[in-house]
Structure 1
Amino acid sequence: MADSNSPNLAFEKESIIIVQHGIFALLLKTLSNYIQVKYQSIQASPMDTHHLIMFIFLLALFIYATALVVEVMLRASESIYHTHVGNIRLFAGGFAAILLLAILYPILGCIISLMWACLFVKIAYESFQELYSILCRTVGGVHHMFSRLIGSVRCLEEEEPNQPPA
């Protein structure tokens, strides 16, 4: 009976992604609806007036979708790298929302993008430190493996000189 009351941690981890995805979808849909209303009376579309912002928005949206799929796959395989991909997903989604906000309210979009950039640098620095430590451990392990391999090859070479040539 006590087991039925305990939370399912796997469900909680996956539900976080679903909730975050729902929030970004709602935010992007709301901002795009506002842009549609704003440009309803104007002959030009946002693709014409803000072509660079819209291109970067589409690129950020593609990165968000790709990172979402990769993060779910890494979580399913219980990889330690899912947090890094999750950070990429969150920042790509946030950047996409900021770009749409910059079309609607350029000053507010610039202010929020500066805050987003500061947060991005902080998280990127922390992720870089963690990835660098993983890289150092991997290189150390590979170096140790090769030194053992070379040591065993040297032992084999020392034992074989007494045998006649084939």
Structure 2
Amino acid sequence: MIFLFLIPVMLGLLQVEYQSKNVSPFDTHPINMWVFLAATFIYCAGLATNLESHNHPTTRSKIISRVILSPGALASVTLASVLVLRLIGWIILCLWTILAIILARHLLKHIYEWLKHGTYNTISVGCVRFNKFYECLTLKKHDLPI
């Protein structure tokens, strides 16, 4: 939830920095700004999905919670990289990349557990249904007169 506070504050700082200039941040830092817009869109979509699934906490909602951390951090980092010197901005982006790799590792573990649990449940339900079907077939064979 910190990104809900941090991003608007940084946008306000960006607006103050560029208010007296004849160029926009899209002119001076186009890649950073487009990455910011894409990351913000993904973050908002993930946040909306997470809020909907908040009433029914599942493994899926835990995965979504971890997924929205990455674009939220990326949006904040790209704005910070516009506000600071270029070298410091690139260092911040490199640190964010390391953070994203760490988050992805944990995320893959949760996805694996979710898929393993889902596959096990599907196989269990399939076996139960097959056994019921097989029992019906064997009962019918025994009931037939010879």
For normalisation by structure 1, the TM-score amounts to 0.72
Q: Deviations over 1:65-112 (max 9, x none)?
A: 222222222222233433322222332222111111222222222212
Which residue is 1:149 aligned to? 129
Question: Using the alignment, how far apart are the partners of 2:5 and 2:132 within structure 1?
Answer: 61
Q: Deviations over 1:93-135 (max 9, x none)?
A: 2211111122222222221222222122112211211221221
Question: Using the alignment, how far apart are the partners of 1:100 and 1:89 within structure 2?
Answer: 17
Q: Report the CA distance shift for 1:126/1:55 in structure 2 as closer, same or farther (over 3 A).
A: same
Q: Percent identity?
A: 24
The unaligned stretches of length 5 or more in structure 1 are 1-19
Out of 17, 20, 31, which is 1:52 matched to?
31
Q: Deviations over 1:29-58 (max 9, x none)?
A: 333333334333432211233233212211
For normalisation by structure 2, the TM-score amounts to 0.80
For the 8 Å contact 2:10–2:79, the answer to whether it is kept is yes
Q: Report the CA distance shift for 1:30/1:155 in structure 2 as closer, same or farther (over 3 A).
A: closer
Which residue is 1:33 aligned to? 12
Whether 2:119 is the aligned partner of 1:135: answer no
Stretch of structure 1 that moved more, 56-65 or 70-79: 70-79
Secondary structure of 2:19's aligned partner: coil
Greater RCO between the two (CA within 8 Å, min separation 6)? 2
Q: Report the CA distance shift for 1:86/1:38 in structure 2 as closer, same or farther (over 3 A).
A: same
* RMSD, matched Cα: 2.2
Stretch of structure 1 that moved more, 37-46 or 122-131: 37-46
What is the correspondence of 1:63-82 to structure 2 with a 5 Å cutoff? 63-82=42-61
Deviation at 1:59, TM superposition (A): 1.5
Counterpart residue type for residue 98 of structure 1 = V
Question: Using the alignment, how far apart are the partners of 2:30 and 2:16 within structure 1?
Answer: 18
